[in-house]
């Protein structure tokens, strides 16, 4: 499923509307007690009488009588919207942005676009500007999220640049959503300052994991990929500090042309030096942002690195580390790797190709990033539904 989380085609049906953008939680129950309505946005299907007191109204039919302020027509857009989802409405721009979907297993929150790395394959290129409002907004919506939310992701930019704001944010999650797993994607450099790592640890979040990218066993490789001299040392020290204070850490290695050569050496390095990290993810490219502008320089067909990938996975697995392969279609993976592959692509980003419809493995396969259609592996071929064996291209000789 590929779904759209942002649109600019709201049509105001009421003359009276807020001048500023505002946040609210979707509600489909017009009979909600009046006292509970002020932060809710009522979503109705057909024409009906709109009860007063809601923050705003979304309707799928144009013919309603808009006696309330902030009534917007959304037509058939955002068909998935439902109770508990959190959205931002920007009346001036006719904009609607879905920030949080209650039914999603994984909601990802952007907290800043600033970053001190400048990765050659960054899918979300950093922007150097004051964007403190992003985290302010997140502070505001945390109390509106369902306590049953399974997992929240914090992404950037580099969340570590928020400093103590990040620590406060994690603390807020702990207080409002104590049963929700929190996954922070960070380059880890800020945690080279042990005091910062300690402050984060002291929050005592019950289910926190930091996903930290490490692109090689050698500083020159990692520093080049992230385009920052000294980043390797800082990232490693960050990881050590976090683990020293019992914060869980996941390493994320993106396989691309510059990193693939030392992929097995990277695995050996991790098994020797960072055995105590909680998870290692070996990931395929997401062809967005810089990855797209640098495509020819960084692209390598996954079919051409199966040997290195298998070797790395074997080394890590033998060291009894948790290892996963992300962002790889099953048909391009060596069959010995299938049990490590996870269907990891967020549901709003993934899609399948035409041939996937005929594929026996589809239910287990992560499919593609929506962005990946610009370059696909030679190895894409459905697993025959009738037979048990895989496609010929997936059978790699050693």
Partner 1 sequence: MTADDRFDTRIDVQTYRPAAIKKAAYRVAERCTVRLEPSDSDEPILRFTFPPRTSDTAAAEAVRVFYQELLDEELRAQLHEETDALRSLILAHAFSRTDLLQR
Partner 2 sequence: MNQLADTFRDRSAFAPSGPYRLLPARFSRLDDRRYVITNDVGEYVVLERPALQALLRHELQPGTPLYADLKSRHFLFDGESRVALDLLALKYRSRADRIADFTALHMFVVTLRCDHTCSYCQVSRQMEEKSRFDMSQAHADRAVEFVFRSPSPAIKIEFQGGEPLLNFDLIRHVVLRAESLNREHGRDLVFVIASNLTRLNDEILDFCKGHRIYFSTSLDGPADLHDERRALPRGSSYRAAVDGIQRIREALGPDAVAALMTTSPGSLPRVREIVDEYVKQGFHSIFLRSLSPYGFAVRTSLVRRYDVDDWVKFYVEGLRHIIDLNLSGYPMREEFAAILLQKMFAPVGNGYVDLQSPAGLGIAGIIYNYDGAIYASDEGRMLAEMGDHTFRLGHLDEDSFEEVMTSDTLVDLLKDSMLEGLPMCSDCAFMPYCGSDPVFHKATQGDVIGHKAFSSFCKKQMAVLRHLIALMEDDASARRVLQSWI
**Could you tell me the strand order of the sheet in which 279-283 lies?**
107-110, 151-155, 181-185, 208-213, 248-254, 279-283, 323-326
What is residue 24's three-state secondary structure? strand
Interacting residue with partner 1 among 11, 179, 202, 244 (CB under 8 A): 244
Return the range that interacts with partner 1 (CB under 8 A); candidates 14-22, 108-116, 239-247, 324-332.
239-247
Among residues 122, 85, 95, 90, the alpha carbon closest in space to that of 19 is found at 90
Q: Minimal distance in Å, beta carbon 347 to ligand SF4? A: 15
Nearer to partner 2, 66 or 265 (CB): 265
Residue 294 is classified by DSSP as T
Cα–Cα distance for residue pair 104/102, rounded to 1 Å: 6
Residue 246: which of partner 1, partner 2, ligand SF4, none does it interact with, CB under 5 to 8 A by kind? Answer: partner 1
Q: Is 380 in the site for ligand SF4 (CB under 6 A)?
A: yes
Answer yes or no: are the C-beta atoms of 285 and 297 closer than 8 Å.
no
Among residues 25 and 243, whose Cβ is nearest to partner 1? 243
3-state secondary structure 94-119: CEEEEEECCCCCCEEEECCCCCCCCC
Task: Please give the size of the binding site for partner 1, defined by CB under 8 A.
Answer: 6
Neighbours of 155 (CB within 10 A): 18
Query: Is there binding between residue 359 and ligand SF4 (CB under 6 A)?
Result: yes
Question: Does position 331 bind ligand SF4 by CB under 6 A?
Answer: yes
Q: Are 223 and 232 in contact (CB under 8 A)?
A: yes
Kindly report the backbone phi and psi dihedral angles of residue 332, in degrees, each rounded to the nearest multiple of 5, phi listed first: -95, -5
Interface positions, 272-311, toward partner 2 (CB under 8 A): 272-273, 275, 290, 293-294, 296-298
Q: Within a 10 A sphere around the Cβ of 129, how many other Cβ atoms? A: 8
Pattern 266-305, partner 1, x by CB under 8 A: ---------xx-----------------------------
Report 123-182 residues binding ligand SF4 (CB under 6 A). Answer: none
Environment class of residue 194 by beta-carbon count within 10 Å: exposed (0-12), middle (13-18) or buried (19+)?
A: middle
**Interaction partner, residue 297 (partner 1, ligand SF4, partner 2, none; CB < 5-8 Å by kind):** partner 2
- Buried b / exposed e over 240-256, threshold 16 CB at 10 Å, is bbbbeeebbbbbbbbbb
Q: What is the DSSP letter of 286?
A: -
Q: How many residues bind ligand SF4 (CB under 6 A)?
A: 15
What's the min distance (Å) between Cβ of 263 and partner 2? 12
Given ligand SF4, partner 1, partner 2, none, residue 309, with its beta carbon under 5 to 8 Å by kind, binds none
Pairing outcome for strands 107-110 and 151-155: parallel
Interface region with partner 1, contact rule CB under 8 A, candidates 107-115, 132-140, 240-248, 334-342: 240-248
Residue 269, interface with partner 2 (CB under 8 A)? Answer: yes
Q: Is 302 in the site for ligand SF4 (CB under 6 A)?
A: no
Instruction: Catalog residues that contact partner 1 under the rule CB under 8 A.
Output: 240, 243-244, 246, 275-276
Instruction: Catalog residues that contact partner 2 under the rule CB under 8 A.
Output: 118, 120, 217-220, 223-224, 227, 229-230, 232-233, 236-237, 240, 258, 262, 265, 268-269, 271-273, 275, 290, 293-294, 296-298, 314, 318-319
Instruction: Catalog residues that contact ligand SF4 under the rule CB under 6 A.
Output: 329-331, 352-353, 355-356, 359, 361-362, 365, 367, 380, 382-383
């Amino acid at each position: 499923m590929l779904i759209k989380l942002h649109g600019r085609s709201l049509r105001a049906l009421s003359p009276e509307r807020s001048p500023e953008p505002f946040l609210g939680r979707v509600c489909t129950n017009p009979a909600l007690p009046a006292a509970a309505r002020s932060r809710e946005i009522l979503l109705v299907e057909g024409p009906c009488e709109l009860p007063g007191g809601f923050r705003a109204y979304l309707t799928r039919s144009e013919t309603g009588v808009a006696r309330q302020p902030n009534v917007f027509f959304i037509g058939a857009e955002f068909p998935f919207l439902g109770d508990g989802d959190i959205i931002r409405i920007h009346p001036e721009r006719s904009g609607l942005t879905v920030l949080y979907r209650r039914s999603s297993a994984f909601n990802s929150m952007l907290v800043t676009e600033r970053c001190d790395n400048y990765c050659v394959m960054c899918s979300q290129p950093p922007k150097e500007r004051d964007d403190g409002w992003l985290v302010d907004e997140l502070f505001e919506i945390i109390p509106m999220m369902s306590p049953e939310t399974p997992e929240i992701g914090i992404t950037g930019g580099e969340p570590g640049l928020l400093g103590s704001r990040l620590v406060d944010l994690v603390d807020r999650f702990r207080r409002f959503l104590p049963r929700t797993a929190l996954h922070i994607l960070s380059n880890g450099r800020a945690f080279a300052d042990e005091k910062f790592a300690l402050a984060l640890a002291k929050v005592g979040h019950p289910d926190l994991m930091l996903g930290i990218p490490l692109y090689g066993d050698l500083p020159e490789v990692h520093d080049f990929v992230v385009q920052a001299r000294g980043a390797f040392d800082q990232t490693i020290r960050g990881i050590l500090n976090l683990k020293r204070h019992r914060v869980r850490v996941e390493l994320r290695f993106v396989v691309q042309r510059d990193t693939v050569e030392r992929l097995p050496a990277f695995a050996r390095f991790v098994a020797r030096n960072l055995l105590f990290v909680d998870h290692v993810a070996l990931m395929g490219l997401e062809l967005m942002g810089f990855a797209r502008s640098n495509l020819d320089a960084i692209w390598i067909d996954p079919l051409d690195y199966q040997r290195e990938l298998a070797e790395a996975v074997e080394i890590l697995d033998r060291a009894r580390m948790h290892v996963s392969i992300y962002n790889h279609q099953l048909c391009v993976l060596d069959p010995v790797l299938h049990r490590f592959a996870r269907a990891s692509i967020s549901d709003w980003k993934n899609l399948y190709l035409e041939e996937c419809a005929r594929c026996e493995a589809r239910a287990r396969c992560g499919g593609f990033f929506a962005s990946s259609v610009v370059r696909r592996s030679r190895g894409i071929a459905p697993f025959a539904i009738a037979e048990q064996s895989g496609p010929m291209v997936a059978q790699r000789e050693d």
